[in-house]
Amino acid sequence: MIDERTSGILLHPTSLPGSFGVGDLGANAFLFVDWLIGAGQTYWQVLPMGETGPGNSPYMSSSAFAGSVLMIDLHELAHQGWLTDEDLIPHPEFRHDRVDYGLANQFRLERLRRAAKHFFSNANESVLSDYSEFCMAEREWLKDYALFKTILEQQQGRSWNTWPQPLANREIEALRKLEVESVEQINFWKFTQWCYYRQWKRLKQYANEHGIRLIGDVPIFVAYQSADVWAHPELFELDEMGAPTVVAGVPPDYFSATGQLWGNPLYRWEEHEETHFSWWVRRLHHALRNYDRVRVDHFRGFAGYWEVPASETTAMNGCWMPGPGDKLFLAFKKAFVELPIIAEDLGVITPDVAELRDKFELPGMRILQFAFAEDNSNHFLPHNYIANTIAYTGTHDNDTMLGWWNHASEHEINFVKQYLGREVIDVPWDMMAALSGSVANTVIFPMQDVLCLSSEYRMNLPGSAEHNWEWRFSWDQVQPWQTIKLSKMTRMNDRSQSCPAGC
């Protein structure tokens, strides 16, 4: 449950400014925390922080536990003496406003390999000890991740169920041989995760010390081409060859007339129950060590999920199947003192979904862009909110607020004017003000809305395969008036963070 009035910003670190093609955990992340403080905010919400998958989606990572190597701050590695000044010369084709994932990935991996070589050749005893302690503490997932990434490279990216059978089936002797023959590659992938989590811990500590809390994002499903499915095939609906029999998606909805075919393998929930949901408990424990709250994506899938045969090309011909429901969350309650979980309860919400959310007092989500298509009874209108709610102008899947307005129907435009009781002068800020003044205890604004950006700056268009997850901002877009106005609006609506001692 959320019982304090707060405000925050949704911005993925890849959208931060920076010299190396994609935002990272370096100086600009700390500057963004400083900006949040100046704007009177309490929360910084991010998207999943794992490696990007097909279509550059952070929701299709190669591991449910690993951090994205693209976000490792190269300047910090140079400060450690593992990179040279020449290594920090940006590629001439990097853009400040969009991410070229292929180019950024190649550039950064080359430098990470150089850094790893210097580290393992020259690191002092104290630093090596810290690395070893990390590897030991995270061994439950780190070893499988490093093995998976090593084999994936050696097999040139082929699907894991097409690898040589001893490796695909994780035969002990085959993995032992790999660990001997490919020790340098395996250690490289462990090194990258140590770098990522060391830097993330430092950023989180800085944010928390200055009153900023971090909201992470836990996708309900994992990618098929992942260390998780390879290491734990018994937990997923796979055939005898290791291929998915059914996959995840959602039926036709607001975003797509044919539904969304995500393609993730579905869970064998009965197997998870047999182990008292130990994999899920480990996953949530990992998330709650790295974030102050977590948004669980597609929460409705825990009550019931849309199952689509793996042979289908759209999500239309699926069916609803029962999820684990109470059993999973009772396992969470047994494992954790509290559940700082945000339920992403969007889409087709049936009574059982609301009942599961409310039984465990989890805040749900309200999206203002969904509010004006009908009448005053609409669930997403601010006067229909309850306090235990996270309200957004839009999420990463929505258009920007200005883009939405530019494409809104005549009915929606008139309804907005009627609802606000006046002409709309500045669409994003008028809508943010309507949310901020609502009873919802937490409101979150995408950074694009603070900057009054139009549709071409949206983060993701569901159902489209290209040009998603690429948007970046630059500091010259952030004007003093925006910071002052956001801070004033936050204070007026009693949402300002309380400054910790000494800040």
Helix (H) or strand (E) holding 38: helix 27-38
Catalytic residue among 179, 374, 397, 412: 397
Beta-carbon neighbour count of residue 343 at 10 Å? Answer: 23
Helix, strand and coil content of the chain, in percent to the nearest 5, comes to: 45, 10, 40
Judged on CB neighbours under 10 Å (0-12, 13-18, 19+), 483 is middle
DSSP calls for 339-350: --EEE---SS--
Interacting residues of 436 by C-beta distance below 8 A, sequence separation 6+: 7, 443, 489, 490, 492, 493, 495
Catalytic residue among 297, 345, 399, 470: 297
Residue with the two structure tokens 């690429």 = 470
Instruction: Specify whether 344 is catalytic.
Output: yes
The Cα 310–Cα 323 span in angstroms is 19
Cα four-point dihedral sign 444, 447, 449, 454: negative
The Cα 239–Cα 245 span in angstroms is 6
Instruction: Specify whether 476 is catalytic.
Output: no
CA angle 93, 99, 104 (to 5 degrees): 65
DSSP calls for 390-435: EEES--TTSPPHHHHHHH--HHHHHHHHHHHTS--SSHHHHHHHHH
CA angle 197, 48, 405 (to 5 degrees): 140
Two tokens, residue 359: 């039984």
Neighbour-count burial for 142-158, b at 16+ CB within 10 Å, e otherwise: bbbbbbbbbbbebeeee
Chain centroid to CA 236: 22
Instruction: Specify whether 297 is catalytic.
Output: yes
Two tokens, residue 167: 């490796």
Catalytic residue among 76, 144, 217, 344: 344
Catalytic residues: 297, 344, 397
